């Protein structure tokens, strides 16, 4: 350890000596560089006087008369620079010390000049040009006057002590240089902790045996992992781990050694580590030992770990990083300032001192190595950015501003006394600047200091190509603005305007209001034509100590008086700008208040009141008689420190209370053993308040157990099973609140229950105690009766992590169409200006926030229902949700259109396209005709339509394309959602489809509603089950299906016109079955007759040759339909045997019908007559011409045909 430290100390001393010698040599050679041919030798310049400034303890030398450049050379030789004036105090000290030294009036050179770049003023030592004290109309526009001096006497309108620019060597009066001894400007780099870094891709010394890493750091927050430097892929490195110094000894961060002490915040700290591989390691903070490192951790990894990032990218990953973890992980960025990073071994060093102060490159102090600065900003040691400050003036525009991403553009404006309002706006000079949606830059503002991203009074962004900020009664002094481009910007313009109020009247011209003492019988005799000065009365209040609130009231009397109060000067109620204040103004310090309305009861209040004179105006536009006015002062409460916390009595309200930004009020409550639930509740009042709670010690903004920051001043904290003991409560606000009471109470245990039914949220009413396991979703909703100015949905309190999603309608004013109208040419024929009628547009918005503190803010919500889903990302408990809104006074309710319905299915589309595109009406589409076929707005290629490749499109082919699953679902959804809104699964499932769809599978967010994006996914993944060539969907193509419209039948094996599934005997014609059945029925009937007759009497007999009986038998057998050949004479039947002997049948099987039988005549008439027409429901076969053919009756030879099933049958 000893030799290494001594070697490094020697190297540092040697470096310093080399730098001093170099400066000295430069100072000797400086005269050779002078451009003044008549310049005197710098050796002739003398030091006339030396003094020490008591305010900064710096040494100053007064030089003899010389030019600016000669004086600057001498200053370097004196280990200093021409003086840098930092403020009014230093400027005044220089005047008093040197401007009249030795009773001689002397103009003084200071170190400011713009000789390198006209208008770009720089201090000699490199300090940014911030403070200025120009004389009237200075600096001048003379291009030769590049050097600045302090005037010691009046120079026209330039007063003593003010600055003026001159040429380098003025001949009309002498100027004396003032030297400030010191090292000059020291620069550092500020890293944002997000993506700022320095990358050094150079060969480095070998540090495998010994390494020392040191750096200067300054951090406002030391939490987390902040890498100062690291080599390559998980190589050696130095970083801050939760405030402690840590060394990267291997891949695993959890095994890295850390120091035993931590660094302080907001101050420069020298941190270092020394490692001798395998034997020794130690941390140092500000040169003091901060912990030994175990021998097993004294490794010096070379940065070639082989992480996935490096392996997959194929890059070398051997760079040195400053401000970020190495190449193996794009993470753990440093947040704060870094300077003087040095890495050394026994013989070599690489040191990054950041002397440049500008640009995107930095160099190694010892070797020719270069580092590339990515995002980090140049700053002075105090954090002030290194930038050229540009002054803004009231009612003047500064244009043509440009900058690159990450630049720091610095501006300032001087706010004078009695400035009542200040406005600054910035915009991009382009015709369509309002269409620039992305945020082009961030702007940070600071009163009296140069702001940055983590220390500022106000933050603004440019949205839609425009930024506008306004202040009411801004503080007197310098307002600084830093613009940081998020992308390269060009042609940025900045305009500023200040309104300066008139000075107030003399106090003896106004009435003083004493705390709590009413002033009665006040009358204003106004009326039409009365001058303004006669319609107003002025009062004032002299505040001698800080107040929590100052309130002025008027009451009693008759008429109508209005009231206003202001700091700085009297209010101007009849002026244009009076009374306008936005939320930002109130947050930054309210300086005026006003109240108006019918009657004389008016109240105005200012909060966080500082000592001074406050002016009140009572005024009227008519008359106000006999009113009373009184001022009330509310002094700051006594419980502003934790040790002064007020103990609350359970169940007893304490108050009323008021508060303002910056006021902290502490309370406490003692919770006994066995308490089931503790609740702390704010009620009544107005404004905005927040609660924080913690056991045994006072909570803070960042250190608490429970908190509530719901909108308004009605916050509440409640939780089950509180730990017994003293619970401390912090009441605070970022704005103001008043008339609030606080109550602590012990309640019964609260158990959250949720059955899945959406819970309605009412305006301003909280739903508390919400609990849910991770992954569960809870549904809420709000129902707005009419459009609102805004809708806010907020969750807070409790524990866990969640997110919110709200879906509903907002008011669309059609501004996009309005701007599109102006983009076109006004002379365009038929072009009309878009209407201004607002419409409802559906939106889905996710919350912003952290943990359980989430918020959704919606501008101009439409009337109707907003669905709200609370998704538990982690287990949540004791969470509160609240919705609040304000109805609009200017927007009429939106009438919801009737629910859309499906009026056209895919068959209708196919039929419409076939009918409209079939020009020749031949029932087919040619290739030329098919060119114009459109399905769902898209043209269809002929090859896609012609599935059988016959060169023509049949209706079935067109129907198949129209009813593909993707075309069908898009057609149905577009009709149900003409404006791309989500459609419920219930409505989608109620439609009739040709294909099968499962909407639950694509409901990605499980909200039982289907969006356009989800339909697009379904269209890609669905399977077409519809087949236009299988009309009944039974899987048998129509060409092979004898029953194309019957899904239960496809074959008719016996040709009887009845499908096999419905046929009694598919292989036997039904006519034969029916005939056989009839014969069997007749036989059974005959047997019954015989039995019946035999049972009556043996004498009875049957006359079988009766014509009537034979005719009946004939009809039953349907023999009249047989061919003539079967009709023969009936053989003579034997006489019936009365003794019931067996009947002997004739041998022949042919029944002969007698010629004189009348049945024969009837049969002939039927044969020559028209045959019976088949029923329309009877189906036939399709022939090659597309006609339906049928033989009826079967076997008769009678052929019937028709074009389709809707037509009657006709014979061939």
Residue 345 pLDDT level (bands cut at 50, 70, 90): very high
* Residue from 740, 739, 651, 728 nearest 694 by CA: 728
Question: Across-strand partners of 459?
Answer: 444
Which of 90-94, 773-777, 1139-1143, 1165-1169 is predicted with the least confidence, judged by mean pLDDT? 1139-1143
Say how many C-beta atoms besides its own lie within 10 A of residue 741's C-beta: 15
What whole-number distance in Å separates Cα of residue 136 and Cα of residue 148? Answer: 14
Averaged over 709-738, what is the pLDDT? 89
Provide mean pLDDT across the span 1041-1057. 69
pLDDT at res. 149: 96
* Per-residue confidence (pLDDT) for residue 38, from 0 to 100: 40
Query: Taking 50 as the threshold, does the pLDDT of residue 932 lie above it?
Result: yes
**Per-residue confidence (pLDDT) for residue 896, from 0 to 100:** 66
Average pLDDT over residues 1173-1179: 78
Q: What angle do CA 276, 282, 287 make, to 5 degrees?
A: 120
SS3 300: coil
**In this predicted structure, what is the pLDDT of residue 862?**
92
Higher pLDDT, 226 or 574: 226
Q: Return the CATH fold of 389-500.
A: Jelly Rolls (2.60.120)
Q: Tens digit of pLDDT for each residue in 26-50?
A: 433 333 333 333 445 677 899 999 9
Question: Which is nearest to 128 in space by CA: 173, 86, 92?
Answer: 86
ω into 139 cis (within 30 of 0): yes
- Nearest-CA neighbor of 658 among 590, 738, 763, 766? 738
Residues of the chain with CATH 3.10.100.10: 34-181
Contact 1069, 1056 (CB under 8 A): yes
CA distance readout (Å), 509 to 539, 570, 635, 849, 1151: 9, 12, 28, 53, 146
**740 in Cβ contact with 713 (< 8 Å):** yes
Distance CA 901, CA 899 (A): 7
Residue 1131 has pLDDT above 90, yes or no: no
pLDDT at residue 1089, rounded to an integer: 66
Cα separation, 528 vs 132, in Å, equals 52
CATH topology of domain 637-750: Jelly Rolls (2.60.120)
The residues, ordered by sequence, that sit 6+ positions from 267 with a Cβ below 8 Å of its Cβ are: 218
For range 1038-1065, the mean pLDDT: 66
CATH class assigned to 34-181: alpha beta
How many CA atoms lie within 13 Å of 56's alpha carbon, on the beta-carbon side?
A: 16
| pLDDT, position 364 | 94
Query: How many Å apart are CA 478 and CA 414, to the nearest integer?
Result: 5
Residue 321 three-state SS: strand
Kindly compute the dihedral angle of the four CA atoms of residues 784, 787, 790, 793, in this order, to the nearest 10 degrees.
20
The two counts, helices (H) then strands (E), for the chain are: 16, 71
Mean of all residue pLDDT scores within the chain: 83
Read out DSSP for 1165-1198?
HHHHSPPPPPPTT---EE-TTS-EEEESSTTS--
pLDDT value for 1017: 93
Task: Flag whether pLDDT at 96 surpasses 50.
Answer: yes
Q: Which residue has the tokens 């009556």?
A: 1096
Within 13 Å of residue 365, how many CA atoms lie on the same side as its CB?
A: 21
Q: Who has greater pLDDT, 789 or 1186?
A: 789
Distances (CA, A) of 789 to 463, 470, 839, 860, 893: 20, 22, 15, 5, 12
Q: Where in the chain is the domain with CATH 2.60.120.200?
A: 188-379
Class of domain 906-1021 as given by CATH = mainly alpha
3-state secondary structure of 244: strand
pLDDT confidence of residue 741:
94
pLDDT of residue 734: 80
751-819+836-896: which CATH number, 3.40.1280.10, 3.30.450.40, 2.60.120.380, 3.40.50.720?
Answer: 2.60.120.380
Q: Which part of the chain has CATH 1.10.238?
A: 906-1021
List the one residue out of 95, 44, 97, 101 whose CA is nearest residue 67: 44
How many angstroms separate the CA atoms of 75 and 62, rounded? Answer: 10
DSSP per residue, 195-209: S-EEEE-S-----SS
The single-letter DSSP state of residue 96 is I
Digit-coded pLDDT (tens) for 947-982: 888 889 999 889 999 999 999 999 999 999 988 889
**630-639, pLDDT tens digit by residue?**
999 988 899 9
Angle at 474 (CA atoms; ends 468, 480), nearest 5 degrees = 65
End-to-end CA distance of the chain: 120
For 670-712, what is each residue's pLDDT tens digit? 999 999 999 999 987 888 899 999 999 999 988 999 888 777 7
User: 507-635 adopts what CATH topology?
Assistant: Jelly Rolls (2.60.120)
Which are the contacts of 743, defined by CB distance < 8 A and separation ≥ 6?
Answer: 648, 651, 652, 653, 654, 680, 681, 683
Neighbours of 1034 (CB within 10 A): 16
- Whether the pLDDT of residue 372 is over 50: the answer is yes
CATH of 188-379, one of 2.30.40.10, 3.40.50.620, 3.40.50.11540, 2.60.120.200: 2.60.120.200
pLDDT at 1: 45
Mean pLDDT of 713-737: 91
pLDDT band at 761 (very low <50, low <70, confident <90, very high): very high
| pLDDT tens, residue by residue, 511-560 | 999 999 999 999 998 777 788 888 999 999 999 998 888 999 999 999 99
Every domain range in the chain assigned CATH 2.60.120.380: 389-500, 507-635, 637-750, 751-819+836-896
User: Mind listing the pLDDT tens digit for each residue in 1200-1212?
Assistant: 888 877 788 887 6
The helix-helix angle for 1107-1117 and 1158-1168 (nearest 10°) equals 40
Give the model confidence (pLDDT) of 838-893 as tens digits. Answer: 788 889 999 999 899 899 999 999 999 999 999 999 999 989 999 999 999 888 88
């Amino acid at each position: 350890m000893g030799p290494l430290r001594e070697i490094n100390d020697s190297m540092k001393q040697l470096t310093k000596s080399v730098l001093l010698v170099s400066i000295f040599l430069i100072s000797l050679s400086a005269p050779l560089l002078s451009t003044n041919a008549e310049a005197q030798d710098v050796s002739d310049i003398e030091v006339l006087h030396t003094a020490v400034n008591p305010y900064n303890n710096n040494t100053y030398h007064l030089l003899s008369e010389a030019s600016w450049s000669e004086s600057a050379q001498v200053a370097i030789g004196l280990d200093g620079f021409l003086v840098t004036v930092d403020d009014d105090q230093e400027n005044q000290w220089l005047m008093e010390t040197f401007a009249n030294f030795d009773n001689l009036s002397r103009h003084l050179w200071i170190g400011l000049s713009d000789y390198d770049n006209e208008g770009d003023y720089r201090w000699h030592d490199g300090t940014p040009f911030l403070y200025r004290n120009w004389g009237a109309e200075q600096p001048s526009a003379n291009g030769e006057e590049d050097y600045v001096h302090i005037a010691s006497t009046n120079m026209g309108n330039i007063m003593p002590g003010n600055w003026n620019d001159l040429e380098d060597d003025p001949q009309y009066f002498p100027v004396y240089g003032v030297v400030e001894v010191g090292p000059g400007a020291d620069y550092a780099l500020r890293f944002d902790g997000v993506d700022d870094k320095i990358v050094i891709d150079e060969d480095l010394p070998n540090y495998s045996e010994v390494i020392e890493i040191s750096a200067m750091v300054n951090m406002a927050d030391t939490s987390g992992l902040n890498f100062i430097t690291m080599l390559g892929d998980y190589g050696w490195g130095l970083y801050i781990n939760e405030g402690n110094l840590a060394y990267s000894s291997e891949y695993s961060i959890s095994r890295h050694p850390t120091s035993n002490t931590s660094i302080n915040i907001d101050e420069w700290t020298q941190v270092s580590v020394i490692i001798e591989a395998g034997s020794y390691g130690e941390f140092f903070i500000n040169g003091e030992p901060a912990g030994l490192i175990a021998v097993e951790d004294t490794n010096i990894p070379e940065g070639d770990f082989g992480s996935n990032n490096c392996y997959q990218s194929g890059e070398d990953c051997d760079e040195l990083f400053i401000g970020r973890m190495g190449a193996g992980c794009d993470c753990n960025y440093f947040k704060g300032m870094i300077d003087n990073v040095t890495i050394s071994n026994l013989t070599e060093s690489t040191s990054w001192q950041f002397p440049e102060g500008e640009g995107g490159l930095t160099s190694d102090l010892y070797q020719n190595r270069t580092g590339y600065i990515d995002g980090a900003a140049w700053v002075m040691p105090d954090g002030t950015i290194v930038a050229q400050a540009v002054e803004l003036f009231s009612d003047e525009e500064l244009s043509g501003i440009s900058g690159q991403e990450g630049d720091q553009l610095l501006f300032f404006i001087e706010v004078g006394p009695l400035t009542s309002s200040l406005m600054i706006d910035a915009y991009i000079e382009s015709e369509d600047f309002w269409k620039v949606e992305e945020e082009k830059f961030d702007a940070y503002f600071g009163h009296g200091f140069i702001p940055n991203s983590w220390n500022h009074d106000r933050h603004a962004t440019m949205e839609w190509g425009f930024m506008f900020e306004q202040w009411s009664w801004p503080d007197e002094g310098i307002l600084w603005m830093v613009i940081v481009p998020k992308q390269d910007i060009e042609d940025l313009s900045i305009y500023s305007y200040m309104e300066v109020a008139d000075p107030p009247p003399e106090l003896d011209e106004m009435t003083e209001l004493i705390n709590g003492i009413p002033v009665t019988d006040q009358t204003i005799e106004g009326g039409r034509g009365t001058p303004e000065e006669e319609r107003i009365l002025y009062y004032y209040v002299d505040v001698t100590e800080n107040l929590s609130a100052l309130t002025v009231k008027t009451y009693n009397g008759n008429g109508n008086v209005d009231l206003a109060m202001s700091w700085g000067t009297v209010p101007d109620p009849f002026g244009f700008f009076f009374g306008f204040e936005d939320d930002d103004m109130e947050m930054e310090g309210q300086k005026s208040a006003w109240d108006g309305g019918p009657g004389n009861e008016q109240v105005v209040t200012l909060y966080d009141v500082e000592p001074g004179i406050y002016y009140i105006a009572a005024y009227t536009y008519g008359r106000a008689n006999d009113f009373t006015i009184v001022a009330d002062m509310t002094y700051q409460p006594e419980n502003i420190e934790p040790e002064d916390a007020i103990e609350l009595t359970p169940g007893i309200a304490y108050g009323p209370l008021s508060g303002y930004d910056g006021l902290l009020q502490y309370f406490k409550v003692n919770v006994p053993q066995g308490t089931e639930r503790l609740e702390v509740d704010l009620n009544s009042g107005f404004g905005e308040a927040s609660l924080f709670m913690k056991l045994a010690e006072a909570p803070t903004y960042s250190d608490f157990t429970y908190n509530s920051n719901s909108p308004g001043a009605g916050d509440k904290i409640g939780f089950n099973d509180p730990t017994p003991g003293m619970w401390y409560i912090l009441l605070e606000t970022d704005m103001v609140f008043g008339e609030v009471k606080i109550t602590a109470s012990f309640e019964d245990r609260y158990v959250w229950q949720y059955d899945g039914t959406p819970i309605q949220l009412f305006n301003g009413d909280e739903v508390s105690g919400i609990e849910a396991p991770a992954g569960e979703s809870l549904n809420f909703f709000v129902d707005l009766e009419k459009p609102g100015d805004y809708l806010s949905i907020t969750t807070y309190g409790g524990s866990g992590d969640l997110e919110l999603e709200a879906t509903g309608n907002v008011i669309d004013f059609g501004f996009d169409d309005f701007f599109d109208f102006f983009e076109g040419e006004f002379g365009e024929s038929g072009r009309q200006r878009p209407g201004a009628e607002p419409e409802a547009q559906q939106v889905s918005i996710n919350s912003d926030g952290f943990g359980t503190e989430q918020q959704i803010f919606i501008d101009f919500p439409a009337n109707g229902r907003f669905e709200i889903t609370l998704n538990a990302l982690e287990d949540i408990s004791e969470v509160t949700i609240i919705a609040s809104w304000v109805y609009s006074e200017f927007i009429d309710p939106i009438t919801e259109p009737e629910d859309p319905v499906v009026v056209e299915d895919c068959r209708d589309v196919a039929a419409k396209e076939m009918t409209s595109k079939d020009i020749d009406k031949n029932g087919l589409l040619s290739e030329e005709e098919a060119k114009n076929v459109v399905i769902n707005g898209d043209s269809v290629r002929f090859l896609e339509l012609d599935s059988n490749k016959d060169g023509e499109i049949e209706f079935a082919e067109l129907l198949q394309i129209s009813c593909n699953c993707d075309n069908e679902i898009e057609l149905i959804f577009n009709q149900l959602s003409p404006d791309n809104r989500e459609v419920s699964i219930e409505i989608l499932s109620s439609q009739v489809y040709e294909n099968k769809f499962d909407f639950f599978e694509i409901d990605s967010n499980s909200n039982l509603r289907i969006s356009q994006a989800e339909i697009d996914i379904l269209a890609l993944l669905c399977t077409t089950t519809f087949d236009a060539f299988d009309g009944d969907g039974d899987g048998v193509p129509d060409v092979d299906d004898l029953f194309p419209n019957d899904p239960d039948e496809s074959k008719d094996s016996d040709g009887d016109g009845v499908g096999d599934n419905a046929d009694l005997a598919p292989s036997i014609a039904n006519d034969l079955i029916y005939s056989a059945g009839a014969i069997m029925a007749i036989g059974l009937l005959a047997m019954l007759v015989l039995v019946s007759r035999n049972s009556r009497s043996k004498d009875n007999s049957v006359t079988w040759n009766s014509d009537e009986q034979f005719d009946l038998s004939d009809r039953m057998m349907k023999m009249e339909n047989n061919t003539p050949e079967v009709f023969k004479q009936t053989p003579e039947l034997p006489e019936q045997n009365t003794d019931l002997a067996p009947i002997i049948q004739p041998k022949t099987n042919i029944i002969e019908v007698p010629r004189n039988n009348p049945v024969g005549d009837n049969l002939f008439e039927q044969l020559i007559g028209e045959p019976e027409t088949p029923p329309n429901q009877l189906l036939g076969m399709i022939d090659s011409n597309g006609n339906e053919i049928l033989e009826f009756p079967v076997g008769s030879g009678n052929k019937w045909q028709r074009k389709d099933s809707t037509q009657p049958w006709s014979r061939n």
